[in-house]
Amino acid sequence: MTSDLIIIGSGPAGLTAAIYAARANLNPVVIAGTSWGGQLMTTTEVENYPGFIDGILGPELMERMLKQAEKFGAKIVYENATRIEKKEKFIVYTHQSQYFGKSVIVATGASPKKLGIKGEEEFWGKGVSSCATCDGAFFKNKVVAVIGGGDSAMEEATFLTRFASKVHIIHRKGEFRASKFMQERAKSNPKIEFILNSIVKEVQGETVVKNILIENVLSNESNNLTVDGVFLAIGHIPITDFLGNQIELTETGYIKSADGVKTSVEGVFVAGDVEDYKYRQAITAAGAGCKAALEAEKWLAGHV
Ligand code: NDP
């Protein structure tokens, strides 16, 4: 199948790019993935996406974006991109097929790293989260734990003190890799308490999180900590495996961009969390998807 534009990824970035590209008559093909929709498919209430006064469920928001893209003619294929090749055109391979495009937008996102412990999946979206900006407001006057020792952990913990009555930062080492400034800000916040040299072994609860099992790695002592929420801040993994070495990445594995959307390969654009390690919001990803589609459209106009 040949198209002007192939969009790889179907989160807010990919689907917004699809809406814009379809309305510009670029007949985009969206390689959506076998499990499409991105991170919002595993969230519950989204209260900060503009236009939804009473909030909207993450999967419903994605369903709406998908339908909107299809309404304007985007073709969605539920396959995983395995490889991309540049010949006369770009070829995107999936396990089942090959798609030919004059240009490509990579919007494959990033997966939050997980601990891989008992209860983590079961309570995902029911107290376990990887985004304080998204879910912090659900924890008014509650006790939460933030796992990690980097800048994200410090930033998320500090942000969560706006809502929570207490925030525990739990870190597996005795010192942090977070910048001095971020550490100091967290340390001077009276609502934040530190539990160091400790790992979380299990998340427990009923319908929602009730407590976590912690083990001190120096003493091997275990204890139960009562919390209402667990925020993972242990890093993200940008999804770029299928690109091989063809597009320049940053030291931390994100796609390197000029202007946020142009990659090192002409005709290949990027949008969303696979490029943006900082903001990671549905709305910023959607904005990036819009920008990437507009840039692709402009580029295609000069490369007929
Ligand atoms: P980082 O990779 O910097 O930190 C991850 C933290 O999680 C580390 O402390 C690490 O521990 C810990 N960790 C990793 N895996 C596990 C595990 N399985 N169990 C327990 N702990 C684990 O990620 P961040 O998201 O914090 O930051 C990513 C990048 O974004 C950095 O460059 C950061 O500076 C930047 N950033 C900047 C911000 C700002 O300037 N405002 C805000 C947020 C991020 P250990 O230290 O032992 O390896």
Q: Is 115 in the pocket of ligand 1 (CB under 6 A)?
A: yes
Q: Is 235 in the pocket of ligand 1 (CB under 6 A)?
A: yes
pLDDT at 144 over 80: yes
| Residue 135 a catalytic site member | yes
CB 104 within 8 A of CB 92: yes
Query: Helix, strand or coil for residue 166?
Result: strand
Fold of 114-232: FAD/NAD(P)-binding domain (3.50.50)
- The pLDDT assigned to 37 comes to 96
Angle between helices 58-71 and 12-23 (to 10 degrees): 20
Distance 279 CA to ligand 1 centre (A): 14
For the CA of 149, the closest atom of ligand 1 is 9
pLDDT at 133 over 90: no
Q: Could you give the CA distance from residue 109 to residue 33 in angstroms, rounded to a whole number?
A: 12
Distance 46 CA to ligand 1 centre (A): 24
Region 264-280: mean pLDDT is 96
CB 19 within 8 A of CB 69: yes
- The pLDDT assigned to 116 comes to 97
> Cα dist. 143→24, 163, 166, 185, 229 in Å?
48, 9, 5, 19, 7
The DSSP string of 198-262 is EEEEEEEESSSEEEEEEEETTT--EEEEE-SEEEE-S-EEE--GGGTTSS-B-TTSPBP-BTTTB
| Residue 290 a catalytic site member | no
pLDDT at 304 over 80: no
Distance 74 CA to ligand 1 centre (A): 37
Ligand 1 probe mutation, 170, 172, 179, 217, most atoms within 8 A of CB = 172
> Cα dist. 257→87, 247, 297 in Å?
22, 10, 17
Q: Is 159 in the pocket of ligand 1 (CB under 6 A)?
A: no
For the CA of 115, the closest atom of ligand 1 is 18
Region 158-168: mean pLDDT is 97
Catalytic pick among 4, 54, 134, 273? 134
Q: Is 173 in the pocket of ligand 1 (CB under 6 A)?
A: yes
Judge residue 233's burial from the number of C-beta atoms within 10 Å of its C-beta, 0-12 exposed, 13-18 middle, 19 or more buried: buried
- The pLDDT assigned to 42 comes to 77
Long-range Cβ pairs for the range 243-247 (8 Å, 24+) = 243/84, 243/106, 244/83, 244/84, 246/84, 246/86, 247/106
Region 78-82: mean pLDDT is 97
- The pLDDT assigned to 134 comes to 87
Ligand 1 probe mutation, 114, 234, 279, most atoms within 8 A of CB = 234
- The pLDDT assigned to 303 comes to 87
pLDDT at 98 over 80: yes
User: Token pair of 272, please?
Assistant: 């969303």
Q: For all residues of the chain together, what is the average pLDDT?
A: 96
| Residue 134 a catalytic site member | yes
Q: Is 273 in the pocket of ligand 1 (CB under 6 A)?
A: no
Q: Is 234 in the pocket of ligand 1 (CB under 6 A)?
A: yes
- H or E element: which one contains 110? strand 110-112
Q: How far is CA 35 from the centre of its chain?
A: 14
Q: Whose CA is nearest to atom 5 of ligand 1?
A: 234
Q: Whose CA is nearest to atom 38 of ligand 1?
A: 151
The b/e string for 9-20 (b: 16+ C-beta within 10 A; e otherwise) is: bbbbbbbbbbbb
| CATH 3.50.50.60 domain span(s) along the chain | 2-111+236-301, 114-232
User: Token pair of 149, please?
Assistant: 């020792």
pLDDT at 43 over 80: no
Distance 149 CA to ligand 1 centre (A): 6
Distance 204 CA to ligand 1 centre (A): 24
Give the CATH superfamily of 2-111+236-301: FAD/NAD(P)-binding domain (3.50.50.60)
Judge residue 196's burial from the number of C-beta atoms within 10 Å of its C-beta, 0-12 exposed, 13-18 middle, 19 or more buried: middle
Q: Is 112 in the pocket of ligand 1 (CB under 6 A)?
A: no
